[in-house]
């Protein structure tokens, strides 16, 4: 049975603010981090648009969120193609819908050394992590400008700020670019009531970080 969302919010730091009446769109929402973001936003009261390249995975995530009494709907969105971004937002706007909050979470982590990285790995990484983030934010910001404002959160990484290990040059370059374009977005769009920020997560226990973290007792040594 769905839990009482109001009770769960009051017992957490999320109880300090409310997104009630707001709509949040999360890209790459079917992955581990994306699903967690959907859960947090929904727990804070937002209606969540669960967008993902894989429409079945988006529906499965919605089913999971429904178990937590979160109002959500799935949306197919291919962040690697501007036409895919436009198609998703066109569909939302045709139904009178649109996000007050955008979380640009979709990303890939293809790791190879700076001596061995391929053009294909470079293009794929930049296509998703930078171009996808840029043009999804752009399309959302155009709609937010018309409505008088909104919030955009871009997912960068500690790798966008420091060298985070071996085989990270291409990934780190893409995330460093996300950090910079977010600053430009904040500067340009603030006048329209749009707040743009980036967050920089570290390593987490999920599929894209497999093989990148120490295991067992070594994890405790980092604490």
Q: Which sign, positive or negative, has the C-alpha torsion 124, 125, 131, 134? A: positive
So what's the pLDDT on residue 17? 78
Q: 3-state DSSP call for residue 8?
A: helix
The rounded distance, in Å, linking the Cα atoms of 132 and 124 is: 10
Q: Would you name the residues annotated as active-site residues?
A: 171
Give yes or no for a contact between 136 and 53, defined as CB atoms under 8 angstroms apart: no
155 forms beta bridges with: 199
Predicted TM-score (pTM) of this structure: 0.85
pLDDT in tens, the chain (223 residues): 455 554 455 555 556 779 999 999 999 999 999 999 999 999 999 999 999 999 999 999 999 999 999 999 999 999 989 999 999 999 999 999 999 999 999 999 999 999 999 999 999 999 999 999 999 999 999 999 999 999 999 999 999 899 988 899 999 999 999 999 999 999 999 999 999 999 999 976 544 544 554 554 554 444 4
DSSP states of 121-167? HHHHHHIIIIIIHHHHHHHHHHHHHHHT-EEEEEE--GGGTS--STT
pLDDT tens, 177-194?
Answer: 999 999 999 999 999 999
The rounded distance, in Å, linking the Cα atoms of 64 and 92 is: 22
φ, ψ for residue 201 (rounded to 5)? Answer: -65, 155
Give yes or no for a contact between 197 and 182, defined as CB atoms under 8 angstroms apart: yes
So what's the pLDDT on residue 6? 46
- Which of 162, 147, 154, 143 has the alpha carbon at shortest distance from 185? 154
The rounded distance, in Å, linking the Cα atoms of 83 and 194 is: 23
Q: 3-state DSSP call for residue 164?
A: coil
């Amino acid at each position: 049975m769905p839990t009482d969302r109001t009770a769960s919010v009051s017992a957490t730091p999320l109880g300090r603010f409310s997104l009630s009446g707001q709509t949040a769109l999360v890209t790459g929402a079917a992955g581990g981090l994306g699903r967690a973001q959907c859960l947090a936003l929904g727990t804070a009261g937002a209606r969540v648009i669960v967008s993902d390249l894989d429409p079945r995975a988006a529906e499965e995530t919605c089913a999971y969120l429904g178990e937590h009494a979160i109002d959500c709907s799935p949306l197919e969105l291919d962040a690697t193609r501007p036409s895919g971004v436009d198609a998703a937002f066109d569909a939302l706007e045709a139904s009178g819908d649109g996000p007050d909050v955008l979380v640009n979470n979709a990303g890939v982590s293809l790791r190879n050394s700076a001596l061995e990285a391929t053009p294909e790995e470079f293009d794929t990484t930049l296509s998703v992590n930078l171009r996808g983030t840029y043009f999804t934010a752009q399309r959302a910001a155009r709609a937010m400008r018309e409505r008088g404002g909104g919030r955009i959160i871009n997912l960068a990484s500690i790798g966008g700020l420091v060298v985070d290990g071996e085989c990270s040059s291409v990934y780190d370059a893409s995330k460093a670019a996300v950090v910079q374009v977010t600053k430009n977005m904040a500067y340009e769009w603030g006048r329209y009531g749009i707040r743009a920020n980036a967050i920089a997560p570290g390593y987490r226990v999920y599929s894209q970080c497999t093989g990148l973290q120490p295991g067992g007792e070594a994890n405790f040594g980092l604490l």
